[in-house]
Amino acid sequence: MGHRAEARIDINALSSNIAYLKSKAGVDLLAVVKADAYGHGLLEIGLLAEKSGADWLGVALLEEAIALRTHGVRIPILAWLVPPGSDFSTAVKHDIDVAVASISALEEISRIPNKPRIHIEIDTGMTRGGFLDEWAELLKSDFSRVDVIGVFSHFARADEPGQQQNVDQLISFTTKVQQLAEIGINPPIKHLSNSAATLFDHQSAFNLVRTGIAMYGLTPDIKSLGDSKTLSLKPVMQLRAKLHLVKKVPAGSPVGYGASAITSTDTTLGIVAMGYADGIPRIAQGAGVFFDGKRAPIIGRVSMDQFVVDLGADSSAHSGDWVTVFGDGSHGEYTADDWGAASLSINYEIVTRIGPRVPRIYAPHVY
Ligand SMILES: *Cc1c(COP(=O)(O)O)cnc(C)c1O
């Protein structure tokens, strides 16, 4: 293997997560593949998700949707971050549904011929995307030149089941869907649930759920919902890297920029060929790599292209050996959740930021 690092994408884990989430939801599933499919690879994951039974694909950007279409995706695609001034006619040409979240976007898309397919986005309490202050005006708008396929909103706290804000958002959504019905707008597709709601809030499923993180086998929130295993999810990405150098050093050796760590004993250090340019967070402390059945923690600061791990005095590692940066944890390796915690962040950010220099290898793996 020629590379110095690789993200192995387990296609069986992906399809098993999709089947599980579909059965859990009991309704159609939209596979969220924005942000390069959370770092797993937009086109490959989009096509695999379609093959594995996803009913829809969802992305943030129109460019992402167009790339999926031009590479052969046939199921419906929704793009939900499509501001005024976007290339709406290309969206229509490629049969891409777009979210509309403002009067100006509605007016603009209404000027495109052939009845563009839209989903009305409602702000039900997250105070981010969707209609809020313009809602009353929307109810007086002309919808005759668009095809209103869907209406949707997004939860702010679905990873905290039982939170009152979830109830409030569901009520707000239902109320506003009713108000649309009163003016004769009855979109066939209503959708509100993300991964956490798909797993924990059956009432919000309507006729489509939008799953991102859980489809990649990761928990929406390790603290409140438990880890992948607890949720019966299979982590899809395993990140591996080469030790480009292994060296024995004495106690008292300063390691890395700023000499922020000093070896406390004679030990073996492994220099891992990945750094913050590849998405290894510079602030990560308390994570590391897994080699020969043991965890080897990071020592010193993460550099741009490399970081150093403490393999222990009696390590048998050699320059050129592969280590696991994160995996599903079943052998004791660090997980994306461990890296999230070690970086004051979350698993979403860890996988999404794995950089373009790291090849993604698609295979059915047996862990
Ligand atoms: C990212 C996103 C999702 C997926 O959220 P997960 O927590 O990853 O399941 C769903 N809907 C919208 C609108 C999103 O932006």
With CA atoms as reference, report the closest residue to 152 among 103, 190, 178, 96: 190
216 is an active site residue: no
Atom number in ligand 1 closest to CA 38:
8
The residue behind tokens 């419906």 is: 76
The amino acid sitting at 86 is: S
Longest dimension (CA), the chain: 77
Identify the helix (H) or strand (E) that includes residue 103: helix 103-110
Dihedral angle, C-alpha 334, 335, 338, 343, nearest 10 °: 100
The residue behind tokens 């089947």 is: 19
Atom number in ligand 1 closest to CA 198:
9
Give me the catalytic one of 34, 190, 234, 242.
34
By the 8 A CB rule, do 138 and 103 touch?
Answer: yes
Q: In whole angstroms, how far apart are CA 339 and each of 18, 136, 280, 281?
A: 24, 45, 9, 8
| Rounded distance from Cα 320 to ligand 1 centre (Å) | 39
E strands, 207-318, are: 208-211, 237-249, 254-255, 261-262, 267-272, 288-291, 294-297, 307-310
Name all domains of the chain by residue range, CATH numbers in brackets: 11-216 (3.20.20.10), 237-363 (2.40.37.10)
Identify the helix (H) or strand (E) that includes residue 30: strand 28-32
According to DSSP, the β-strands at 261-262 and 254-255 are antiparallel
Positions in the chain short of pLDDT 70: 1-2, 365-367
pLDDT at site 92:
96
Instruction: Select from 98, 194, 228 the residue to mutate for testing ligand 1; criterion: most ligand atoms less than 8 Å from CB.
Output: 194
With CA atoms as reference, report the closest residue to 77 among 90, 347, 85, 22: 90
> Residue 198: CA atoms inside 13 Å, Cβ hemisphere, count?
31
Whose alpha carbon is nearest atom 12 of ligand 1? Answer: 154
What's the residue count for the chain?
367
Q: Which residues line ligand 1 (CB under 6 A)?
A: 32, 34, 80, 154, 194-195, 210-214, 220
Identify the helix (H) or strand (E) that includes residue 84: none
34 is an active site residue: yes
- The whole-angstrom separation of Cα 106 and Cα 11 is 38
Identify the helix (H) or strand (E) that includes residue 324: strand 322-326
Identify the helix (H) or strand (E) that includes residue 315: none
| Rounded distance from Cα 78 to ligand 1 centre (Å) | 12
pLDDT at site 294:
97
pLDDT at site 367:
43
| Rounded distance from Cα 193 to ligand 1 centre (Å) | 8
Claim: this prediction has a pTM higher than 0.85: yes
Task: Tell me the helix, strand and coil percentages in the chain, rounded to 5.
Answer: 30, 25, 45
| Rounded distance from Cα 31 to ligand 1 centre (Å) | 9
DSSP line for 137-194: HHHTS--TTSEEEEEE---SSTTSTT-HHHHHHHHHHHHHHHHHHHTT---SEEE---
Q: Three-class SS of residue 300?
A: coil
Instruction: Select from 22, 98, 119, 154 the residue to mutate for testing ligand 1; criterion: most ligand atoms less than 8 Å from CB.
Output: 154
